[in-house]
């Protein structure tokens, strides 16, 4: 088979066969197919698309290009959730212990913050002692004893996707639904869960800006999951405002703990609570073949009766985290410098550009622009007022925190452009 012929076929808008897709992905993995030929095929796919069958075959081929985790030994169904990335999205910290408290197995690899979006692994590392790098045996021991573990990405999962994603990044071929969906799902499938629930974010702070685009991506990922023999569902959630109030590692962990403990003031976190419950009810429903309403009832029950928080504490301790910080969340590292972003005029907040708010977090030190940049765990924002709220001139809309910057002007400028008051 010649790669030239495969490119030509896609250029002519024809569907590729299993043999052709597998030939390409094997050649990418081994390095035998040069980047310029893969780049040409990626562009042809971007322009001419892929049907459902081709997309499933591409996903399977990338899934099979490297290591695959086996989570069948824990005596329960392994579940995974994936968010397409947002601002203030700390749902994994709540959803996983919640569903595990109901009998699911949550053995998960998570990512780090990049650009305006946060990463679960950085958030967890803000808990003193918590270890995100476990040996395979340590990881298995934590899952076996707690039913849950979350570590950073390691191992050689879906290496073909790693190479193709890097190539897409520099050839303007990222924004193509079959390529995005197969990229995300190949990694999820290699990670070994039986049940995958996706949180496709939609709006100004998300990868997908419109509902229709988010829906197309969600449908494509769910059909891949099902096509690969998994139970799979997706929700589409709002990223036109940050999720919850906190943005930044320690601030977000504290907020997740508040929700898991039902602390006073939790009413302010109703959007976060609802997002977490929607994901959890879908996971539990698929896991135990239960109607959504019953799954919802059980999830609400375990959030209120403290069982989800108990599971959270057991898990954090098993991965080395110091529980005294969860008991007294005020003992988390505090930012050296604090500021307030105030309303410039009275009126209603009509719009928030969530990506710009996420970028304000990055300039305060709460995120990173390049892989490997350090993160200030104490940095970030607390969003006190959101879209639809009335504010008076001078009222605090956001509190700003940083230990690396005592000049908040750059963050304030981003917030000026992000928040519209009319």
Which residue lies nearer to ligand URA by CB, 63 or 296?
A: 63
Question: Any idea how long the chain is?
Answer: 422
Instruction: Compute the distance between CA of residue 78 and CA of residue 226 in angstroms, rounded to an integer.
Output: 16
Which residue lies nearer to ligand URA by CB, 35 or 310?
A: 35
Contact 257, 221 (CB under 8 A): no
Which residue lies nearer to ligand URA by CB, 180 or 224?
A: 180
407 is catalytic: no
DSSP state letters, 108-152? EEE---BTTB--HHHHHHTSTT--S---HHHHHHHHHHHSEEEEE
Q: How far is the CB of 165 from ligand URA (least distance, A)?
A: 6
Q: How far is the CB of 155 from ligand URA (least distance, A)?
A: 16
Q: How far is the CB of 174 from ligand URA (least distance, A)?
A: 6
Q: How far is the CB of 190 from ligand URA (least distance, A)?
A: 12
Please identify which residue in the block is written with the tokens 């990223």.
Answer: 239
The active-site residue out of 182, 183, 356, 402 is 183
The active-site residue out of 63, 162, 187, 254 is 187
Q: How far is the CB of 83 from ligand URA (least distance, A)?
A: 10
Q: How many CA atoms lie within 13 A of 46 on its CB side?
A: 14
Contact 211, 236 (CB under 8 A): yes
Instruction: Compute the distance between CA of residue 92 and CA of residue 140 in angstroms, rounded to an integer.
Output: 19
Q: What's the distance, Cα to Cα, between the start and end of the chain in Å? A: 62
Which residue lies nearer to ligand URA by CB, 117 or 285?
A: 117
Q: Are strands 106-110 and 390-391 parallel, antiparallel or unpaired?
A: unpaired
Q: For the stretch 250-282, what's the b/e string if a residue is b when 16 or more beta carbons lie within 10 angstroms of its beta carbon?
A: bbbbbbbbbbbbeeeeeeebebbbebbbbbbbb
112 is catalytic: no
183 is catalytic: yes
Which residue lies nearer to ligand URA by CB, 167 or 333?
A: 167
Indicate the residue whose CB is closest to ligand URA.
Answer: 183
Instruction: Compute the distance between CA of residue 75 and CA of residue 87 in angstroms, rounded to an integer.
Output: 35
Q: How far is the CB of 213 from ligand URA (least distance, A)?
A: 13
DSSP state letters, 247-301? ESHHHHHHHHHHHHHT-TTGGGGHHHHHHHHHHHHHHHHHHHT--HHHHHHHHHH
Q: For the stretch 37-50, what's the b/e string if a residue is b when 16 or more beta carbons lie within 10 angstroms of its beta carbon?
A: bbbbbbbbbbeebb
Which residue lies nearer to ligand URA by CB, 71 or 177?
A: 177
Instruction: Compute the distance between CA of residue 92 and CA of residue 108 in angstroms, rounded to an integer.
Output: 10
82 is catalytic: yes
Q: How far is the CB of 234 from ligand URA (least distance, A)?
A: 15
Distance set, CA 291 to CA 181, 198, 294 (Å) = 27, 18, 5
The active-site residue out of 168, 230, 273, 368 is 168
Q: How far is the CB of 124 from ligand URA (least distance, A)?
A: 20
Can you say how many angstroms the Cα of residue 19 is from the centroid of all Cα atoms in its chain? 33
Instruction: Compute the distance between CA of residue 300 and CA of residue 255 in angstroms, rounded to an integer.
Output: 18
Cβ-based neighbour number of residue 314 at 10 Å: 18
CB burial of residue 403 (10 Å; 0-12, 13-18, 19+): middle
187 is catalytic: yes
Which residue lies nearer to ligand URA by CB, 184 or 276?
A: 184
The active-site residue out of 80, 89, 122, 161 is 161
Q: Which two tokens stand for residue 285?
A: 């429903």
The active-site residue out of 10, 63, 82, 258 is 82
Which residue lies nearer to ligand URA by CB, 59 or 183?
A: 183
Q: Given the rule CB under 6 A, which residues bind ligand URA?
A: 165, 174, 179-180, 183-184
Which residues are catalytically annotated? 82, 161, 168, 183, 187
């Amino acid at each position: 088979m010649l790669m030239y012929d495969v490119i030509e076929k896609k250029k002519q808008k024809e569907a590729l066969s299993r043999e052709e897709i597998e030939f390409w992905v094997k050649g990418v993995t081994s390095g035998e197919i040069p980047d310029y030929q893969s780049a040409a095929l990626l562009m042809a796919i971007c322009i001419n698309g892929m049907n459902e069958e081709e997309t499933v075959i591409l996903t399977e081929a990338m899934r099979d290009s490297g290591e695959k985790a086996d989570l069948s030994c824990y005596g329960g169904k392994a579940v995974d959730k994936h968010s397409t990335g947002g601002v203030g999205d700390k749902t994994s910290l709540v959803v996983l212990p919640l569903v595990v408290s109901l009998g699911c197995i949550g053995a998960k690899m998570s990512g780090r913050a990049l650009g305006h979006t946060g990463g679960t692994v950085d958030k967890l590392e803000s808990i003193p002692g918590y270890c995100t790098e476990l040996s395979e045996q340590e990881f298995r021991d934590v899952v076996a004893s707690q039913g849950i573990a979350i570590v950073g990405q390691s191992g050689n999962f879906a290496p073909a996707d790693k190479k193709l994603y890097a190539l897409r990044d520099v050839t303007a071929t990222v924004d193509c639904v079959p390529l995005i969906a197969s990229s995300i799902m190949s990694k999820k499938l290699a990670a070994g869960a039986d049940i995958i629930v996706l949180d496709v974010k939609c709006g100004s702070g998300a990868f997908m800006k419109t509902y229709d685009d988010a829906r197309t991506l969600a449908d494509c990922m769910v059909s891949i999951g099902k096509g690969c023999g998994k139970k799979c569902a997706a929700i589409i959630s709002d990223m036109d405002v940050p999720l919850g109030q906190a943005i930044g590692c320690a601030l977000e962990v504290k907020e997740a703990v508040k929700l898991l403990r039902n602390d006073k003031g939790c009413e302010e976190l109703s959007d976060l609570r609802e997002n977490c419950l929607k994901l959890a009810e879908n996971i539990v429903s698929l896991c135990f073949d239960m109607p959504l309403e019953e799954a919802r009832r059980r999830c609400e029950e375990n959030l209120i009766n403290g069982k989800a928080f108990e599971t959270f504490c057991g898990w954090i301790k098993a991965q080395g985290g110091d529980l005294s910080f969860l008991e007294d969340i005020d003992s988390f590292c505090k930012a050296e410098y604090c500021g307030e972003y105030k309303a410039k005029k009275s009126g209603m907040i009509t719009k928030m550009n969530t990506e710009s708010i996420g970028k304000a977090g990055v300039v305060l030190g709460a995120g990173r622009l390049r892989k490997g940049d350090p993160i200030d765990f104490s940095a970030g924002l607390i969003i006190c007022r959101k879209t639809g709220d009335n504010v008076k001139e001078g009222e605090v809309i956001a509190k700003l925190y940083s230990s690396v910057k005592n000049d908040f002007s750059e963050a304030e400028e981003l917030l000026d452009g992000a928040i519209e008051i009319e």
